[in-house]
Amino acid sequence: MSRIGKAPITIPSGVEVNYVDSVMTVKGKKGELAQHIDASVNVSIEDNVITFSRPSDAPDHRSKHGLYRALVYNMVHGVSEGFKKELEVIGVGFRANANGQQLELALGFSHAIVMEIPKEVKVTTATEKGKAPIVTLESYDKQLLGQVAAKIRSFRKPEPYKGKGIRFVGEEIRRKAGKSASKK
């Protein structure tokens, strides 16, 4: 039995959940999300609790059982509390600047990178003297937030020698020693 799939989801106050024709719709103070749920997973909503069950122990049913429970939990958590990711831009002369829904990054290339952020994601930047600029992304949609954060990180992944690049706050980068001086 899937440990994740067996766990019930309690619906917090202020969140409205509807399940019609294999589509789960979750509406809260932060926004509204919808997710198609496979017909092999049984969903029941009773007394502000959502439970998931599967018809058999077939590998396909087992994998979808935990998957759809996790997706719906992320939807409920997102519309009630939201999600947040922070990226730090590390490198001499590397800068980050947010203007509305546009993020402008100076990453040591001959040009600045300007990225249009989706309207569902709120972007802010913070720059303190002596510290690396921090880009903060907030959204109610966990999948979209992760996708946008991964796209920003892909512009300049952290390199293993000096550690320069864009990384998540708290992310550990494996460092390499580099060249050794020759003995003559």
Residue 159 scores a pLDDT above 90? yes
Q: Determine contact, residues 153/168, Cβ cutoff 8 Å.
A: yes
Give pTM, 2 decimals: 0.88
pLDDT band of residue 2 (cuts 50, 70, 90) is low
pLDDT for res 181: 62
Alpha carbons 22 and 32: distance in angstroms, whole number = 17
pLDDT for res 4: 87
Q: Are both 3-80 and 83-168 of the same fold?
A: yes
pLDDT tens digits, one per residue of 48-103: 999 999 999 899 998 899 999 999 999 999 999 999 999 999 999 999 999 999 99
pLDDT for res 183: 64
| The architecture CATH gives domain 83-168 | Alpha-Beta Complex (3.90)
Cα 144 versus chain centre, distance: 6
Token pair 């979209």: residue: 144
Q: Determine contact, residues 89/104, Cβ cutoff 8 Å.
A: no
Strand partners, 46: 49
Token pair 């913070």: residue: 126
Alpha carbons 8 and 89: distance in angstroms, whole number = 39
Alpha carbons 65 and 5: distance in angstroms, whole number = 5
pLDDT tens digits, one per residue of 100-151: 999 999 999 999 999 999 999 999 999 998 899 999 999 999 999 999 999 9
Residue 158 scores a pLDDT above 70? yes
Cα 159 versus chain centre, distance: 22
Alpha carbons 135 and 175: distance in angstroms, whole number = 23
Q: What are the residue ranges spanned by the domains of the chain?
A: 3-80, 83-168
pLDDT for res 112: 94
pLDDT for res 178: 82
pLDDT tens digits, one per residue of 28-44: 999 999 999 999 999 99
Residue 165 scores a pLDDT above 70? yes
Right CATH number for 3-80 from 3.30.70.1280, 3.90.930.12, 3.10.450.50, 3.30.70.60? 3.90.930.12
